[in-house]
Structure 1
């Protein structure tokens, strides 16, 4: 697309008043659903911990309540007695175990990821805090070197008559 074409498209879009380009923002009607006032994603450590905790609880409940060991025994008994239902029951049990394993793996992944994310964010907070505190320490050092705190630096001279403090 040539630059002239782009200019024409922008002019025609602006001329009809219906289509507008909007970058880095969301429509006004969607802002109540955006989370934070700025539209940025806001996650609290409590939120991450709660999600990870619920995934862990679900994993444990699935392990205790959703595994069906009696089905395999029943399927084997039915097969040995010559019932076709035994093979079908065995097939269903195998599928159930595979699907249950997938769900349990997903729960474990979510739980572990939330723990990792929580620790990573804590590390980021410490890193940012150290950098910010070192900048303020460095800045304070420069202020003390030229003038006592609260006083203006003599290097800049006296303010002009029309300037106010």
Structure 2
């Protein structure tokens, strides 16, 4: 992907800012980000839920004892579970999307490399492709 239409701050020369095609993502970067999102999801699944049952039990006990703090703690408990679920879902989505993007990019690259055809419709060899580059 290339972003090559951004003008410099002064807009004087009309050339792209920075190097040509300055938006670059490498497969190893996608993999690392996907792994980080997966690791965060795993950590949230275990440590984010540690106090859930104790919080709910405390809220129930406080409510049964006639204290309004029990209702407030139940609201807090439910809000935490909702936010935790949303965050875990976002991490899973990021991880899955980056894994998919990496695999799709590799497939696209393979298709491009093996799918070039000459005017007669026959697949071009790598050596034949190099003739066009020179």
Please state which band the TM-score falls in when normalised by the shorter chain. 0.7 to 0.9
2:85 pairs with one of 101, 125, 130? 101
**Is contact 1:52–1:111 with CA below 8 Å preserved after alignment?**
yes
Extract structure 1 runs of 4+ deviating beyond 2 A: 23-26, 28-32, 131-140
Match of 1:57 in 2: 39
1:89 maps to 2:73: yes
| TM-score, scaled to structure 2 | 0.75
Write the mapping of 1:94-133 to structure 2, written as runs, cut at 5 A. 94-132=78-116
Structure number with the higher helix fraction is 1
The aligned length equals 114
Alignment RMSD:
2.5
Cα 1:25/1:108, change in 2 over 3 Å? same
Q: Which is further off, 126-135 or 45-54?
A: 126-135
Larger radius of gyration: 1
SS in structure 2 opposite 1:31? coil
- For normalisation by structure 1, the TM-score amounts to 0.61
Q: Deviations over 1:87-131 (max 9, x none)?
A: 100001101110111111000000000110011001001001102
Shift, 1:81, TM fit: 1.2
